[in-house]
Structure 1
Amino acid sequence: MTAAQISCQNCTTSLLGKKYVLKDDNLYCVSCYDHIFSNCCEECKEPIESNSKDLSYKGRHWHGGCFNCAKCNHSLVEKPFVAKDERLLCTECYSNECSSKCFHCKKTIMPGSRKMEFKGNYWHETCFVCESCRQPIGTKPLISKENGNYCVPCFEKEFAQYCNFCKKVITSGGIMFHNQPWHQECFLCNGCRKELCKEDFMSRDDDPFCLDCYNHLYARKCTACSKPITGLRGAKFICFQDRQWHCECFNCEKCSISLVGEGFLTQNKNIFCRKCGSGLDTDI
Structure 2
Amino acid sequence: MVDPYDCTKCNETLYGKKYILKEEQPYCVKCYEAVFSNNCEVCKQLIGCTSKDLSYKERHWHCDCFLCTKCERSLVDRPFTTKDEVLMCTDCYSNEYSAKCHACLKTIMPGSKKMEHKGNSWHENCFACNRCHQPIGTKSFVQKDFNNYCLPCYEKQFAQQCVHCKKPITTGGVNYHDQPWHKECFVCIGCRQQLAGQRFTSRDDFAYCLDCFCNLFAKKCAYCTDPISGLGGSKYISFEQRQWHNDCFNCKKCSVSLVGRGFLTCKDDIFCPDCGRDI
Greater mean alpha carbon deviation, residues 139-148 or residues 179-188: 139-148
Aligned residue for 2:233?
235
SS at the partner of 2:202? Answer: strand
Aligned to 2:265: 267
1:10 touches 1:28 (CA, 8 Å); kept in 2? yes
- Aligned partner of residue 211 in structure 2, secondary structure: helix
Partner of 2:256: 256
| Residue ranges of structure 2 left out of the alignment (5+ in a row) | none
- Do the aligned partners of residues 223 and 135 (structure 1) sit closer, same or farther apart at CA in structure 2, a change above 3 Å counting? same
Describe the SS at the equivalent of 1:32: helix
Q: Secondary structure at the match of 1:167?
A: coil
Which TM-score applies when normalising by structure 2? Answer: 0.71
Q: In 2, Cα distance between the equivalents of 1:200 and 1:157?
A: 33
Match for residue 54 of structure 2?
55
Residue 104 of structure 1: how far off its partner (Å): 5.5
The 8 Å contact of residues 95 and 107 in structure 2, kept in 1 or not, is answered as yes
Secondary structure of 1:196's aligned partner? coil
Aligned 1:45-84 pairs, distance under 5 A:
47-57=46-56, 60-64=59-63, 67=66, 72=70, 74=72, 77-78=75-76, 79-83=78-82
1:226 partnered with 2:225: yes
| Structure 1 contact 248–258 (Cα < 8 Å) conserved | no
**TM-score w.r.t. structure 1 length?**
0.70
- Does the 8 A contact of 1:42 with 1:61 survive in 2? yes
Measure, in 2, the Cα distance between the counterparts of 1:35 and 1:219.
Answer: 106
Structure 1 distance, partners of 2:100, 2:246, is 65
The residue type equivalent to 2:238 in the other structure is F
In the other structure, the counterpart of 1:144 is 143
**Equivalent residue letter for 1:37:** F
2:207 is matched with 208
Q: CA deviation at 1:159?
A: 1.5
Q: What are the ranges of 5 or more consecutive residues in structure 1 without an aligned counterpart? A: none
User: Distance between the aligned counterparts of 1:65 and 1:243, measured in 2?
Assistant: 108
Displacement, 1:45? 6.8
Moved more, 169-178 or 20-29: 20-29
Deviation digits for residues 191-224 of structure 1 (CA, Å, limit 9, x no counterpart) = 2333333544332322233333333222322344
**Sequence identity, in percent?**
51
* Cα RMSD (Å): 4.1
Q: Does 1:33 align with 2:40?
A: no
SS in 2 for 1:82: strand
Distance, in Å, in 2 between the alignment partners of 1:107 and 1:245 is: 78
